[in-house]
Structure 1
């Protein structure tokens, strides 16, 4: 079989080839072939200036040519061309670049609601309603959209599973994810840490720490089933105490879910009870009170820094100062408990992680490849990023069940069939309808609706040659809401996950149509832990209550750290 050398288009980001600049090049294979096989073919690449396509041809011995591949140059990817004129002016400012373009994009999405009635501005900014912002781009320009960043840097927008699969299947063992620049700057420049943390790192350093924390997190799922059950029981009692006379919980119920989540996190990571759910209330000066305020404050500061104009890269903006203040506060508290864990380990005789009862932090500290600062960044990632994702997942699962009483009743019947009061991860896996409800809720409202990657190598997406290093945004939530992939896509229908065929999507692409925890090597390492937390809490709640939500439709924000757009005023009626 003839061997053909790899052809790579000579495409420079942001530069369009003119008709007079079109050239053709040829390369001859020098590796000799085995006896009896004709001389190697000549590979010719032609750039066609009229249609701006590259045709790859193979000239055979008899002079005939055969096209074996056809694709377009990256500069032909459609998108709002007016942005390119401005981007050329700003392209020399590398600090703004691609991440700024993505940040400005998200900022525009969230400004839309302020200009809904403005006929001039609203036409553009009204795209900010949930998934509709990205959908407008795809409706106008097609399934692949290139944004020439108004302040430098290009962004490629994708949504289809078949396109997402190309990105993820070509990312290798060390994928690059560009996000949360503000947190990276905080850790590397303000805290002067050696590394930015596993969520932000890439390359061999990321791979090393990723492997170090994988086992401690995954083994914690069943190890801490008992305390997690107790914390869920405390949450149920908390609901009983905060309901009003109409059995409705306060508008800040999201904070109550966050308290439960943080208490669970502390049990798993530090093997310690903090008292977030104490019936006497939470003092703002106590450690759990300060952690709660710090997580809320840091979350809001990260949103403002990442999804607005990145002025904090040059000056200390209020959002940047808030991020530093809140992250410092959380760090100062958690570091105290990490030091205590380190002292306790020095005094222990049995240091075999397979036999002794160690927390996640204990197991990290016992690993010679993990420094204390690495353990701290893992903790902060779990407390800020992980906790927000878990709270979002619980909130929307309760909402979807409240809006689908038949599904709620069916799930309660499955829960009532469990004879054990203390459920384990294995027990939850044997509850298929509960698992289907979790999957369906995550499909409709994923905690991270938009995934991003930096292409590790050239890739052909929708017949466009996208060069290595391109910043890609994948609107996974759009694929989850399209009728061609899921029948009656916007309806909460857990039964779809119980069937052998899920929707109308080809089996090999199903995993790319709904990716609430990401995909590939950079998928969420705490996925099993998060699914157990969500499943266990909802099982405990529905065992005791019927749930209603009487305030219309709720949607999710477009932010990376997503949140419900309305207060969680659930009504919890005692089951009879």
Structure 2
């Protein structure tokens, strides 16, 4: 996908129409942030993003579980707005993360010990299977938030047929099949293709496993005394509103919050390992907020790590999780003199804009300093960039609802790793696979040396 959109821009310019793909609506690619801003500013309170139609079809057919509810990933219009309104305050408010800081810190602490036991005793490199360990960390972190409960992803010698590993495997398969069904030419809208049948089997597995965990969480919650609402976890807040909404929202979180978070954290570790000056600055910050290697991450720590936050922003600029943001036009819109009719897909290709020298000088360099307040006025300051060039979490009403939790998980893990290890990478340039989302393809055999 990344290579394709880059070729489209080089061959045809900043606005490209692509049509004639069987089973796909006409699509317009936008490569100029001014055009993207116009789309976002005029999309109204109910932005449409008609994607993941296969998931919508699945949930319609599994009415016994979903009861006609498509959730956030595939609903549109008033249905989407109604669902988002129910869950927004329980996931987007800053205070929502407070009850989860301690549990997320515990997961990261266990993962540090997992790293020490997992790496090669001589080379201190991680094994080729470390990508899967990053997935386990991301899943365990998400489950602590979604279920208020550990599910055992970081247990030693976890069986290949265990439910946590099956959950990870099925999430991978889900994204792979979504790319084949939703992006590549496919005839699934005309008949029940083999890939669609495989996809439904994968979703059945995910529904069964997550449904089991949701039921267990509800039972634990029923036996727990009610606390002040200000101290309630996300799960407690959601269930107080609507149990069915809670179930659908948690299924959305588990399917969307594992590969995305693990690959983003992996990309950040790679950039830290390959930029020694960045790593040293980051370690100074880590030692300042975590006096000891075992010091816990607290709210105060999270509020005092500006350089780490800048590192994550810069890593997402260079290694975004997706090609860009999708919108489906609700009305006719005119861009650069072209009338784009209602019902066309627009793809805002922020992955290319964020690496354009017009907006980010020396775009291939990893410079977290771009994002610091004291960089204002300097050549590389991100403040000089167009605000709609870099958009890792989306914009407007459909901005990523799990952003705060993803940042909590990644910031906690990264600051603890830097406080405990010196990172080295000796395996050449990290390779990515660009599909429905961008994933790390190289075996992540990073070297972690105790300090």
Displacement of 1:348 in angstroms is 5.0
Q: Distance in 1 between matches of 2:341 and 2:380?
A: 31
Q: Which of residues 126, 142, 162 is equivalent to 1:265?
A: 142
Q: Is contact 1:554–1:566 with CA below 8 Å preserved after alignment? A: yes
Q: Larger % of helix: which?
A: 2
Matched, 1:453 2:337: no
Distance 1:501 1:207, change over 3 A: farther
CA distance in 1, matches of 2:176, 2:44: 33
1:313-352 correspondence runs (5 A)? 313-347=189-223, 350=226
**CA RMSD, 1 decimal:** 2.3
| Aligned residue runs from structure 1 range 299-448, under 5 A | 299-347=175-223, 350=226, 353-355=229-231, 358-367=232-241, 370-372=242-244, 374-419=245-290, 421-448=295-322
Shift of 1:563: 0.3
In 1, the alpha carbon distance for the partners of 2:449 and 2:387 equals: 37
* Matching of residues 535-546 of structure 1 within 5 Å: 535-546=411-422
Count of paired positions? 440
Change (3 A) 1:204 1:240: same
* Bigger relative contact order, structure 1 or 2 (CA pairs below 8 A, ≥6 apart): 2
Q: Structure 1 residue runs of 4+, over 4 Å off?
A: 344-349, 501-509
In the TM superposition, what whole-angstrom CA distance separates every residue of 1:162-220 from its partner, at most 9, and x where no partner exists? Answer: 11101111111110012112212111124563121112212122112112212222444
What is residue 497 of structure 1 aligned with on the other side? 371
- In the alignment, what sits opposite 1:214? 88
In structure 2, what is the Cα distance between the partners aligned to 1:562 and 1:191? 31
Could you list the per-position Cα deviations for residues 455-485 of structure 1 after superposition, in whole angstroms to 9, with x for gaps in the alignment? 2233332232323322111111110111010
Task: Say if 1:444 and 1:480, in contact at 8 Å, map to a contact too.
Answer: yes
Quote the offset at 1:292 in angstroms: 2.6
Please report the TM-score for the alignment, with normalisation by the length of structure 2. 0.91
Alpha-carbon offset, residue 148 of structure 1: 2.5
Summarize the alignment of residues 266-281 of structure 1 with structure 2, pairs less than 5 Å apart: 266-279=143-156, 281=157
Q: Distance in 1 between matches of 2:209 and 2:441?
A: 31
Q: Conserved in 1, the CA contact under 8 Å of 2:149 and 2:217?
A: no
1:552 equivalent in alignment to 2:428? yes
Q: Which runs of 5+ in 2 are unaligned?
A: none
Name the residue aligned to 1:78: none
Q: Tell me: CA distance 1:508–1:452, structure 2 relative to 1, closer, same or farther (3 Å).
A: farther
What CA distance in whole angstroms lies between the structure 2 residues aligned with 1:205 and 1:190?
18
**TM norm structure 1:** 0.72
| C-alpha spacing 1:387/1:567, structure 2 compared with 1 (3 Å) | same
Please identify the structure whose Cα radius of gyration is greater. 1
Deviation for aligned residue 1:398: 0.6
Give the Å deviation of 1:505: 9.1
